[in-house]
A and B are shown apart, each in its own frame.
Chain A
């Protein structure tokens, strides 16, 4: 059966109009006159804000207007109205009111334009409309043209200067106009002149912008909640409406009793205030209305605006069912495509399965397996949570329990739907916020596991930017076969190994995977056949043991063990991360075993490290994916990570504070070097003070001094690092990690054991603080190294108090930078996403918008998917040439 294609329609136009006082009264179910809501018995008061004619919120009660209940038959709620004693200006429309007043005469209400001008403008407007062009600019021009006149052309009245006093008061020649006067004025504007004021005469009259009646929204819009204590708590809108009614009543009483003008005007102002805040409680120029607790009220505009508003929170983003969230933890034994889901979650989440003649027996069996016990089971047996029976169009949802399982199973009919619990192999979407790129949401296959955390392979941490210090992640279950297929093909982790950012792998071995492979392959690692089989068993290797070498004892080489992971046709030659970039590179014969040669899938020489299996740079990984596809890539990552971890566990690997120990002799050398640097700086400062320093081209003397000093301090730190590095060899675990690219850098190590170096704020030496000095510990105008943030100590020896302070200053700058950067880039990304969300690549290779408008004639101008490209190029020419040369 062919499903009907969804019909796409284009919105021609949207029309906004104003409610007239008549319309408001006509749609009103009742006039609201009392500010009270409920009487002492808890019943709503008639003609109060909770009048049952405005709709009902308690289930079971019937609405007095339509007779429907709230739950099943859905009473939508009905509007009421408040008759205002005096008219009030609508805040949202003050600018339009101002323009209307500016462009018309107070006496005759006509536009301040000659008939000739009017005809010209009319023609222009008609033309714009015909061509569908934006006329905002022209309309502004019309109003500007009117403001210029001094006398009315029609009745000779002098035209006053109209000014808007934010938020809602308007003055004519400095004298305040009351809303009544404004309304009278607006009434005089003739219908046929409205188009010039950008008002459609079919949808509004200008005087409707001054309110005489206020609509009261249905109770369903502002439901009251009953607290546990039995107390009723009203919605913010209700609170605000209570204020409006109260003041309205007082205003009416005072006016009718003939109270002094001043009192009436005060109350009128107050009514204006309440209605203004009822519409928008963040109007600038007036204090926001507050709750008794001091919290500002959430009124009409606040319900729509901003991140928590209706648009961004409820329409652009929604909460979903069939999802789960919990803490994450690592599991190196899972494939990168898998995810460990706790049993408790697996029992709650379901997938719908249609019962057919093919799976009827299976479905029955599933239902019968139901157990309600919550104890952790050795084996997880999925069952069914609900059966949905479709009898004569009525959907019936039956909850399956251990007690009724047998009965429900027997009664199961074809065509019913069972909501089956999660099973191993189900496809799910896994996500970590912030979802900054498409790899933040990938498809994983379920593996049900005990305990309470989601678990996944460590190689998948970088795309999610996850760690295990308490991070939580979300899981979404796909409910239809179509969605499942789509996720399987497009979203599985293995399909996302190659990043669309640069066409390289962003998933690869990390941390211990790299250290492990380094230990296994560096130089000649002699392994007993026992050890070798242990490692090979861990990766599920099924071939024969690699040949043992017999020279100097019987052993299997670590390189040969690693070679079992490589495809037979792999030929590669490259430099490892461990390469020191020696001045004279003895290329194939590297004394540090840093030159990797792989021939016919066998690692002949060189060390496996970040440049082989890491994300971004892993050459072997990259080549396997390109030549053998995603499946092979996934298998390689799965196995290489498992091999690395087995190896590192076997050899043992630890790092501690003594990894940063260096001999006394080295310490002495470093101190000497630092002293020399200090002397040099001292000399520079002296030279500067004696005005003997020669300035660099284009720099002032001060800048020259700073640059020279920065250079000396930089070199001092490098010197300390070099000396420390000389004494830290590959027998040191921290060095292995740094050199193999597993974690940390030599800079980190030299800062720990040698010298931390110059601290900087905004790229300069630290110079602010007290008058003419950074801290009171130094003399004024001291330009020396330690007075301006040079930390000569190492992290291991510990920092002096002043050094510690400078170090904190530098560190703080880093923190502030990241905080500012994330918020700014977040907003930029939001705008980009909103602008681009409807743009997609069509089947013909063009990039189009939702209406079919062409954005690009060919995707990226060359039509190449960057994820399948090599550094942005569609074809790897060099590779083709070498392949042909070598006759592969």
Chain B
């Protein structure tokens, strides 16, 4: 089951509804785990085949920082662990 990278038809990261995603550095990663007192598997996940992952070049094992607009807080930060997809 070969992974098929779909041809990007347009720059999805520039779409209004797609929040900011960025891969964080190793130091930031270490700091995050320390702050939250967690192991990587306790984070929410994102597949490496997700259009966003492909677009920003996130690889399994890396962590993606997402900054969303929020109704309650103006900006909400979330993190996701990049995982290999099932097919």
Contact = CB atoms under 8 A, between A and B. Distances in A.
Interface stretch (A571-579, A678-686, A859-867): A859-867
A134 B42 contact: no
Interface residues on A, range: 20 to 34
Contacts of B77: 857
Nearest to B43: A854
Interface string B45-87: 0000000000000000000000000111100111100001011
Given A851-B42, A852-B38, A854-B36, A133 B72 contact: no
B64 to A, nearest CB: 13
Nearest to A135: B86
Nearest to B35: A844
Interface residues on B, range: 10 to 19
B86 A864 contact: no
Contact of B86 (A134, A851, A856, A872): A134
Interface in A843-882: 844, 846, 848, 851-858, 860-864, 872
A857 B73 CA distance: 12
A858 B73 contact: yes
A856 B73 CA distance: 13
Given A134-B86, A137-B87, A861 B70 contact: yes
Given A854-B43, A854-B44, A872 B36 contact: no
A695 B37 CA distance: 67
Nearest to A864: B72
A862 B70 contact: yes
Contact of B72 (A844, A855, A861): A861
Interface in A318-360: none
A848 B87 CA distance: 28
Contact of B78 (A853, A857, A864): A857
Q: Name B's interface SS.
A: loop
Contacts of A131: 84
B36 A844 contact: yes
B65 to A, nearest CB: 10
Nearest to B72: A862
Contacts of A860: 72
B87 A858 contact: no
Contacts of B72: 860-862, 864, 872
Contact of A862 (B42, B44, B73, B86): B73
A853 B86 CA distance: 20
B86 A133 contact: yes
A854 B41 CA distance: 9
B34 to A, nearest CB: 12
A851 B42 CA distance: 8
B79 to A, nearest CB: 7
A863 B43 CA distance: 18
Nearest to B68: A861
Contacts of A864: 72
Interface string A666-680: 000000000000000
Interface in A132-174: 133-134, 137
A834 to B, nearest CB: 20
A863 B38 CA distance: 19
A120 B77 CA distance: 43
A846 B36 contact: yes
A848 to B, nearest CB: 8
Nearest to B80: A854
A851 B79 CA distance: 18
Nearest to B41: A853
A854 B38 contact: yes
Contacts of B79: 857
A131 B87 CA distance: 13
B38 to A, nearest CB: 7
25 contacts: A131-B84, A133-B86, A137-B87, A844-B36, A846-B36, A848-B42, A852-B38, A853-B42, A853-B43, A853-B44, A854-B42, A857-B36, A857-B76, A857-B77, A857-B78, A857-B79, A858-B76, A860-B72, A861-B71, A861-B72, A861-B73, A862-B72, A862-B76, A863-B73, A872-B72
Given A844-B36, A853-B41, 14 more contacts: A131-B84, A137-B87, A848-B42, A851-B42, A852-B38, A852-B42, A853-B42, A853-B43, A853-B44, A857-B76, A857-B79, A860-B72, A863-B73, A864-B72
**Which A-B residue pairs are the 10 nearest by beta carbons?**
A862-B73, A861-B76, A862-B72, A861-B70, A861-B73, A853-B42, A861-B72, A852-B42, A860-B72, A857-B78
Interface of B: 36-38, 41-44, 70-73, 76-79, 84, 86-87
